[in-house]
Amino acid sequence: MSHDHSHHHGHDHHHHTSAKNIKAAFFLNLAFTIAEVIGGFYVNSVSILSDALHDMGDSLSLGLSWYLHNKSKQGADAKFTFGYSRFSLLGALINSVILMVGSCFVIYEAVNRFFHPEPADAVGMLYFAILGIAVNGYAAWRLSGGTSMNEKVVSWHLIEDVLGWAAVLVVSIVMMFTDLPWLDPVLSLCITLFILYNVLGRLKETLIILLQGSPADIDAEQIKAEILQLPNVAGMHHVNVWSLEGEHHVYTAHIKTTGISTFPEIIELKRKVKDILKKHPFKFYTIEVELEGEECELQPKIAE
């Protein structure tokens, strides 16, 4: 049985820059979220409060990303032999639950406000929208050049925030010239439902990874077909493909052989299998080569 692991290590400068960008985005987003909550109540706008909910989720994501980015530098140890990367899934799960509960609360408030409209401060909404576009736009720009998955995902979250504030900006301008108080709760519903839709999608992806489902970007059958075409490969079983955290994957398989028996022949077959696996984002792969006539102890026994 051979254990073949491929590890990808970034440069210290890149780690420092990534952590610095995520840290800056976290504090910017957290400060603005607090301002949103206070301002949302002050200008009586549920759309601002609903966006504050989204920004709170982003702040949690940024905080966890920052913490886990630093945590991941420790690498694997005796307690966590695959490393600490799957901790990010717990963060995603916690964030999703918080956002779902908060979204339900905001939807309830928005529906109530729709049937019992209250005037919102359109000018205050306008100022907050401009500030929101500036703060989130700057944070997104800081992360736009990042190469890590954390930076890319967080950057897209912040871009969503910019679009949300652009919508608030348009509605606030309309409300300054027309008496349509129901526009604010309608916008709040649209933003919250959009957030809830995306959260449910991310929650589904997170649960699939936690349950060790096959990664969507890996065609396990195609990989198996390529390996089966190699000389001296008679079959495969116990093929397992799963993901650590959605970015780095794990592959294990038992390969039954025919026509080989020497150590150099086994090494050559393993090299060919590894060449196939290296074309995919596998961080760890374990291949067991079974010689002709060798019975796998993991195969289920057939009752006679």
Strands 282-290 and 249-257: parallel
Residues 6+ apart with CB under 8 A from 283: 5, 6, 7, 8, 244, 248, 249, 250
- Tell me what pLDDT residue 4 has: 47
The single residue listed with the structure tokens 């075409």 is 229
Q: What is the pLDDT of residues 211-236, one digit of tens each?
A: 999 998 899 999 999 999 999 999 99
Residue type, 90: L
Classify residue 225 as left (phi > 0), alpha (psi -120 to 50) or beta.
alpha
pLDDT band at 6 (very low <50, low <70, confident <90, very high): very low
The single residue listed with the structure tokens 């010689």 is 291
DSSP 280: S
Q: Are 245 and 85 in contact (CB under 8 A)?
A: yes
First to last CA, the chain: 30
The structure's pTM equals 0.71
| Residues 81, 87, 92: CA angle, nearest 5 degrees | 155
- 9 pLDDT higher than 50: no
Mean of per-residue pLDDT scores for the chain: 80
Q: What is the pLDDT of residues 127-170, one digit of tens each?
A: 888 988 998 888 888 777 655 555 666 666 677 778 778 878 88
Q: Which domains does the chain carry?
A: 10-210 (1.20.1510.10), 220-290 (3.30.70.1350)
Q: pLDDT over 70 for what percent of the chain?
A: 85
- Tell me what pLDDT residue 10 has: 43
Q: Are 31 and 169 in contact (CB under 8 A)?
A: no
- 276 pLDDT higher than 90: yes
